[in-house]
Structure formats: C-alpha cells, structure tokens
Homo-oligomer: A and B are copies of this chain.
Amino acid sequence: MTIERASEARYDFGARRLEEVTTPTPSDIEIASAAKALPIREIAEKMCGLTEDDYEMYGRYKAKLSEKLSSTLGGREGEGDGPTCDATAGHGYYVVTAGITPTPLGEGKSTTTIGLVQAMQAHTNARAVACIRQPSMGPTFGIKGGAAGGGYSQVIPMEEMNLHLTGDIHAIGVANNLLAAAVDARVFHESTQSDEALWKRLMPQAKDGSRKFSAIMFKRLKKLGIDKTNPDDLTEEERNKFVRLDIDPERITWRRVVDMNDRFLREITVGESPTEKGKTRKTGFDITVASEIMAVLAMTTSLADMENRLGNMVVGPARDGTPVTCDDLGVTGALMALMRDAIKPTLMQTLEATPVLVHAGPFANIASGNSSIIADQIGLSMVGKGGFVVTEAGFGADIGLEKFVNLKCRKSGLKPNCAVIVATVRALKCHGGGPPVTAGKPLDHSYTTENVDMVREGMCNLVRHIENTKSFGIPVVVAINAFPTDTEAEHAVIREISLAAGAEDAVLCTHHAHGGKGAVALANAVKAACEANEDCKDFKFGYESSLDIKSKIETVAKNIYKADGVEFSERAEEKIKLFTEQGFGDLPICMAKTQYSFSHDQSLKGAPSGFTLPIGDVRLSAGAGFLVPLVGAFPTIPGLPTRPAYYEISVDTENDQILGLS
C-alpha cells in the first residue's frame, strides 16, 4: 500500500460525511436501514489499502482479514508526523474507550467509539479504525438491543452485526460443545471399560498389527513423564496412566453453551437416556460468549498461540486433583480446525463508511471484556504512523479498562496513548443521589430536568475513574455524551471538575445526533493527547503478575476499587492454594465484579470506600491465561421476558429486509 493510495482513499471518503441528519434522531434501525453501505471490497481496498490476498468476503458487507495481517503489513508510513508506542514501530496511535460506572441503560461507549472514528476519518483527515466486540445473539431476541452503536454513530449493516456476523460465535459454540461431549464420552467409556480394552480402542492396530500414537497423544505422554515414541514400549503401568484420565465426574467445570437466552438450561441433569447406563450428572449451559474459548480468542496473538491456549484449557480435576486439559482429551486439533476462521477479525463499516474491526466478545465479568488483541494489532498496522485505533473496553473503567491494562496490554505488549472516558449527565446524576435507573421503566423527572448540584455530587465517580486511569500512566480525555435533556450548566460542571481532576480535556459530543461531525472536538482532543504522549513512557501495569494471588487481588481491590481490604471465603482460600500448587499462581487476575459500583454492592453509587471486598470463589481460565476471583455470583445465561424482543422482529419477504431489530 502506498501513502498516495491511502490518502486518496481518505479524500474519497469525505463524500460519505453525514452532513444532513434528522432531528429528533430517528430509531437506530431506521437510520441503519436508510444508510447505503459501500461494498466491503471498497472499504478494504480503497480505505484500508488491502489487496485481495489480505481479506476474504463474507457476503457483500463483511470481510474476514488474515490474522497475520499485522505482521505482513508491518508498520506503515503515514502522513501524520507522530511515532507511537513502542510495541510495533511505525503503527498508529492506540486509544481505549472506557466509561464511568454505568446505569443499566448504558452510557454510550460503543456509540462514542464509532462516533470518534467517524469524526477522525470522515471529518478531520486522520486514518482511524474502530475495534469493537461481537455481540451475543441471545439478548437480541430477549430484552437488550444490539451492540452496533446508536443514532448516527453505528456499524452497518446492523442486522448482520447483531445476528450471525461471520460465524465466530457459532464456531466457539461448536468447539465448546465438542469438548463437553468429549468429556462426558470419555468418562463414560472409562467407566465401562478395562484398562486393556481402553488401550486397544484408543490405540487401534493397523493392518500390519502396529500401533501408532497420534501427534496430540505425545502431549499427554510428556505430561506423564513418558518419553517413549513406540506404543509397544510402554509398560502396563504406563499404559494404564495413559488411557485413564480418571476425570472426577462430580467436579467437571466445563459446561456446554448455547447462543440463546435459555434460562431452563442453567442447571440440568444429563445422561438420562438408558443408553448412558444411569451415569447421570448435574451440569448446565452458559451463553456462548461466556465460553472460555471466547476469552481465548480475545487474548490470542497467533494460530500457534491459540493452539497452546486451547490445549491448556482445564475441564476439571482428575480424582487425584490433577487438572485435566483439552490436550489430555486429544481434542485440541479439532478445536483448532473449528476455530481456524474465527481467529480472523471481521471488517465492517460505520455509517460514514469508515472501517471497523469486529472481533471476539468475551463477558466483561468472568472474562476480559475487551475485543481481540489480533484486531487491535491489525488496526494499528493498517492505519500506520499518525493514524488511530480506537478500541472499546467493556463496563466501567474499574473493570474494562483495568482488564485492558492488566490482561490485554500485558499480553499484547501494546500501550495506549490515551484513554477516552465516556460520561453522561444521566449516570452522574445517578451517582449524585438520583433515584435508581431501571431498564424498561420511565426515567425519573430528576434525570430529565436541570440539576447541576446532583451532577456535581456525582462527579466523584468520574473523578475516581480519571485518577485510576492516570495511575496506569494513561492520559484521559473525557467524552461528555450529550442527551437532548442535558443543559449547558450541567455540561460545564463536568468539564470543570474533570480538568481539575487531571483530564487532558473534557469535550461535549453529539455524535449520536450528528454522526462524526458531533465528535470533531473529541477527535481533536484525542489527537492532542496522543501527540503529547507518543512514547507512552508513563504506562505501567496495576501489579506484577509474579505477585502471589492474594496480593494481586488486594492490589486491585485497594488501588482501583478503594476497598479497605479483602475477605476470602474458605472456598476461595482452598482454590488459591490449589491453583498455586498447580503452578497457576503467576497468572494475572480477571475480577468478576458488578459493573454498577466500584464496590461489590451495586447499590453503592458514587465513589464508595471503606468497604471490605468479599471473594467467594476463584476460578481458573488456564487457556485464556487468567484466574477469576468471584466478587459475587454472575448469571452466565439470561432468560427471556414475557414479551421478548422477537415479537417485533420479522423479514419483509418482498423487499428482503429484516425488520424490528433494535
């Protein structure tokens, strides 16, 4: 790709600026349906400077990009004059979008991410790529709408974004369920066969009578300390250790998944057919995005790295406590075959025809809550020096941004030049003493009329997020995501206190109502912050992963949540001891905490302190590469309400349009 080409492309895209918008803002689906998406080929080739070898089309408006693209593109030379963080020489500025502690209605992080790149690329002459998560399909049919942004800052076609996309979640679901089937089938076969019979079946003889290990079996042999390559050389004892995983059926942690809000699958009993000979077992389903494989996809850096991670996933302990892995079951290669295409990020476009990478959508509590490392890396290479990648971190900054730093950046080696923290008058009022905000119920009057004092009172929440983010050495730009009912005085107090708290800038944004044009000031502020922090020299992690498990948890609890201390349940203590003994003590931690408070108690709004954080349990995600301390219980599969969103969804069979998605 030449600079001329990129530059020419960028000017082409000036033509796609949304200069005309409708007021009041129509519904998301109305805006999305009225927009004419460009063929993705044009985005890929003219906009991103890719060639046919770099991408594969999936329909007209989606393309998958080679996961190797960041290394094949290398660091590009752009027109901007700034170098950037040192992870890959010559790539673009790296910006993370986080938020204040949200209300259940969400404060517009995705929308701001999209609005910001629209502003940069379509209005301020800067190359910019947004990196966002793939939404789960389940909630699309339940209560919550999609996750493609909103108003005049959206990813289109929104129905493709919110439904199958390019099949990654489906691939994860099948891979997850193949492993689950393998676990139960293995337990069954081991319980009904002698060691000798297992050996004969697992190691069938070829026509000449010989037996051969399949490649993956050498991983198990190595784990058992057996370095023989000829099966016939194994002693009887070695054979028996090899064939018998001896998984404890009572303690299997690997669950099945479905990409649907199916509450009746939360807890189930399986194996009740007579063919399973009474070997029933209690287990359950999670929603697919809660699968560890989704977390693996988000954290992986290459095909080979993914193979290691998938192989390391633990399905539960053997009866002697040894963790049993995907490699032990011999199924890693099949999971890789299933995930071969899912590792490739999906290229889509915004309403202003700027490029968006959609990739991975891990849960933000039990998993990392950030989109993929691979997509960010590709984005940074694509935009080149002086360009921008804007990536979104789920939930509030205490969760999403903390995990962005301590999990994602730790693994990728990338450093952010700047963080955008999205704030709304609504959420600040909620933190300033406003009544509870509930999805589906009308907002209280105090949220829709001016109340400067309430906003001022709630600023403690935003201030702490600013301070926390700065504690990682990341400069902060506050994006005030404007609502029609906000007032100037309310906005002024946000700006004033944000600056006093150390934000580089605090900028009013109207991208929901006006598209990229409404985020031009934000784009300029982000650009200035990035240019002032080209080398990310102050960036630091929240803790060293070599600390012991408890110290890591305490560090996050005290430094980020402002807890006085941490209380570990007996179960958590046991698990910490076990994981330390098993050699997992060096893994970083992925806190599973409510997003509605800095504390574990979602009713504690504002900036609570002086509380003790309770850790009820700790789980292991050995493949994703982290430990998950549980601060409370988290439902891992939602349900359908009495009137689900699907009542409104339909296909216009004459005009071939999907209707009713929101």
Q: Kindly state whether residue A402 has any CB partner on chain B within 8 Å.
A: no
Instruction: Give the residues in chain B near A45, CB-CB below 8 Å.
Output: none
Can you name the residue of chain B whose Cβ is closest to the Cβ of A159? B337
Closest beta carbon of chain B to A502's beta carbon, Å: 42
B261, A181: Cβ atoms closer than 8 Å: yes
Q: List 16 A-B contacts (CB under 8 A).
A: A59-B341, A164-B167, A164-B170, A164-B338, A167-B170, A177-B260, A181-B261, A185-B263, A188-B263, A198-B642, A256-B262, A268-B268, A268-B269, A268-B272, A332-B650, A333-B647
Q: Kindly state whether residue A204 has any CB partner on chain B within 8 Å.
A: yes
B281, A264: Cβ atoms closer than 8 Å: yes
Do A182 and B334 form a contact, CB below 8 Å, given A164-B171, A270-B268, A281-B264? no
A185 to B644 Cα, complex, angstroms:
10
Q: Kindly state whether residue A567 has any CB partner on chain B within 8 Å.
A: no
Closest beta carbon of chain B to A207's beta carbon, Å: 8
Instruction: Give the residues in chain B near A658, CB-CB below 8 Å.
Output: 337, 340
Closest beta carbon of chain B to A286's beta carbon, Å: 12
B282, A272: Cβ atoms closer than 8 Å: yes
Q: Kindly state whether residue A649 has any CB partner on chain B within 8 Å.
A: yes
Can you name the residue of chain B whose Cβ is closest to the Cβ of A167? B167
Selected contact of A304 from candidates B268, B639, B653, CB within 8 Å: B653
The contact string, 1 if C-beta is below 8 Å from chain B, for chain A 624-654, is 0000000000000001111110111111011
Do A182 and B640 form a contact, CB below 8 Å, given A56-B57, A215-B650, A333-B660? yes
Instruction: Give the residues in chain B near A215, CB-CB below 8 Å.
Output: 650
The contact string, 1 if C-beta is below 8 Å from chain B, for chain A 146-163, is 000000000000010001
Instruction: Give the residues in chain B near A178, CB-CB below 8 Å.
Output: 141, 260, 646
Closest beta carbon of chain B to A45's beta carbon, Å: 14
Instruction: Give the residues in chain B near A547, CB-CB below 8 Å.
Output: none
Chain A interfacial residues counted at CB < 8 A: 92
A173 to B137 Cα, complex, angstroms:
12
Q: Kindly state whether residue A303 has any CB partner on chain B within 8 Å.
A: yes
Which A residues from 177 to 226 make CB contacts under 8 A with B? Answer: 177-178, 180-182, 184-185, 188-189, 193, 198, 201-204, 207, 214-217
B647, A216: Cβ atoms closer than 8 Å: yes
Summarize A's interface: helix, strand, loop or mixed: mixed
Q: Kindly state whether residue A273 has any CB partner on chain B within 8 Å.
A: yes
Do A201 and B137 form a contact, CB below 8 Å, given A170-B167, A269-B268, A303-B656? no
Q: How many copies does the complex hold?
A: 2
Q: Kindly state whether residue A302 has any CB partner on chain B within 8 Å.
A: yes
Chain A positions near chain B (C-beta within 8 angstroms):
56-60, 64, 137, 141, 159, 163-164, 167, 170-171, 173-174, 177-178, 180-182, 184-185, 188-189, 193, 198, 201-204, 207, 214-217, 256, 258-273, 275-276, 281-282, 284, 302-304, 307, 330-334, 336-338, 340-341, 442, 639-644, 646-651, 653-654, 656, 658-661
Can you name the residue of chain B whose Cβ is closest to the Cβ of A635? B275
A341 to B62 Cα, complex, angstroms:
14
A649, B159: Cβ atoms closer than 8 Å: no
A215 to B660 Cα, complex, angstroms:
11
Closest beta carbon of chain B to A658's beta carbon, Å: 5
Do A330 and B646 form a contact, CB below 8 Å, given A174-B259, A282-B272, A302-B653? yes
A71 to B174 Cα, complex, angstroms:
36
Selected contact of A647 from candidates B170, B184, B269, B330, CB within 8 Å: B330
10 interchain residue pairs of minimum CB distance: A333-B650, A334-B646, A266-B273, A201-B642, A181-B262, A170-B170, A57-B57, A267-B273, A185-B640, A336-B651
